[in-house]
Amino acid sequence: MKHVFGPVSSKRLGQSLGVDVLPSKSCTWNCIYCQLGKTKAYVAERRKFFPREGILKEIKQAIGGPAAIDWITFVGSGETTLYEGLGWLIRETKKITDIPVAVITNGSLLYLEEVRNELLEADAVLPSLNAGSAELFEQIDRPAQGFTYERHVEGLVAFRKVYCGKLWVEIMLIAGVNDSVEALQDIAAALEKVQPDTVHLVLPTRPTTESDVRLPSEEVITRACLILSHVAKVIHPAKGSMNLRNTADIIETVAAITRRHPLQERELRHALDGLIPNEPDQVERVIEQLLGSGKFKTVALEDGEIYWVLTGDG
C-alpha cells in the first residue's frame, strides 16, 4: 500500500492505522525537531496531491484485514491539512466504519475556515503548539513566510470554538529551548486561550533535523507537567510498542514505518520478540534478513541508542 501503514501501537491512539496523504516532505514549517529531515521547499498552498479515491480504497482494504485497529489516523509526511481531499476522506471513512478517526496536524492552516470545517467530523484532532511567544515559535518551528505565531494561535482558538471532538494539543519539549519556567508559563497562557481537552507532552526521542535538539531531564519534564496542568490535563506518553503480528511482509512493514520516522532498534527487537517468543536466534536471523535487504541502515546517537532509517533504496 502506498498511503496506509501499520497499525502501529501508541499509548494515545492504541493500535493506530496511519494514512499518509502527502508526498514527502510537504510542510508549512521546518521544525528543528523534525524527523523527516529539512523542509527543502515550503508548501503553503493546499493541493490535491493524490487522487482521494485511491487513498480511500487502501483504507477500506486495511480495515477489512485481520489487524485490530483502534484509530484511523491521518498523518502526513509534512502538514496533513495541506491535502485538499482531507475533509472528503474523513467523511467517507466515517461512512464505512465505526473506528474513530484522528488527524495529526501542526495546526498552521486552521486559520482557514475551509480547513476548520473539514476537520469537524474527526473524533480527535492533534495540533502542535510548541511555543508561547513569536520568538520561540520562529526558533522552533521555522514557518514559511506569512505563517505568524499570532495567526497560528488564532487558528487554534477559532477551531476550538466550532469543534466538539477531542482537541489534544501536542507540545514538543526541547531541552534548553522551550523548557524553562518562563517558556512553559507562556505556553500555558496560550493554552488558556485555546482550551484543549488534554495536552500531550512529546519528546525528541528520535533523530532530528538539527543535531543539538536534546531531551529534557526527568525533573524538567515533571516541572513542565506541573505548570501546564493548571490549564488542562497533561499526558506524557510513554513510548508505544510496535506490533508486528498479522504482518504479511515484514520488510515492507518495517520500511513503511521507517519511511515516516526513524525506528528505534530496541523497539523493533521488542516487537520481534513478541512475534517470535523465546527464539532469540530467529530474531537475530530476521534482523539480518532486514539489514540484508539493503533497504535499511543504522544510525547511533550520542546516548548509544540505535535507530533504523531507510537507505536510498528503501
Please state whether the peptide bond connecting residue 25 to the residue before it is cis, i.e. omega within 30 degrees of 0. yes
CA distance 200 to 153: 17
Half-sphere exposure of 150 (CA within 13 A, CB side): 1
**Which lies closer to ligand SF4 via its Cβ, residue 41 or residue 226?**
41
* Nearest in space to 133 (alpha carbons), one of 152, 120, 116: 152
What 3-state class would DSSP assign to 233? strand
How many Cβ atoms are within 10 Å of 264's Cβ, its own excluded?
Answer: 19
Minimum Å gap between C-beta 35 and ligand SF4 is 7
Output phi, psi for 207, to 5 deg.
Answer: -55, 140
**Which lies closer to ligand SF4 via its Cβ, residue 69 or residue 187?**
187
**Which lies closer to ligand SF4 via its Cβ, residue 118 or residue 170?**
170
122 with 19: CB under 8 angstroms? no
What cell was used for 63? 480495515
Minimum Å gap between C-beta 215 and ligand SF4 is 16
Minimum Å gap between C-beta 149 and ligand SF4 is 14
- Site for ligand SF4, rule CB under 6 A: 27, 29-31, 34, 36, 39, 78-79, 106
CA distance 36 to 23: 12
83 with 115: CB under 8 angstroms? no
Query: Using CB atoms within 10 A of its CB, is residue 272 exposed (0-12), middle (13-18) or buried (19+)?
Result: buried
**Which lies closer to ligand SF4 via its Cβ, residue 39 or residue 264?**
39
Buried b (16+ CB within 10 A) or exposed e, 287-302: beebeebebbeeeeee
Minimum Å gap between C-beta 84 and ligand SF4 is 18
Minimum Å gap between C-beta 121 and ligand SF4 is 23
**Which lies closer to ligand SF4 via its Cβ, residue 78 or residue 155?**
78
CA distance 71 to 311: 30
98 with 120: CB under 8 angstroms? no
Minimum Å gap between C-beta 106 and ligand SF4 is 4
Minimum Å gap between C-beta 245 and ligand SF4 is 29
Minimum Å gap between C-beta 142 and ligand SF4 is 8
**Which lies closer to ligand SF4 via its Cβ, residue 18 or residue 78?**
78
**Which lies closer to ligand SF4 via its Cβ, residue 115 or residue 275?**
115
CA distance 143 to 150: 12
**Which lies closer to ligand SF4 via its Cβ, residue 102 or residue 272?**
102
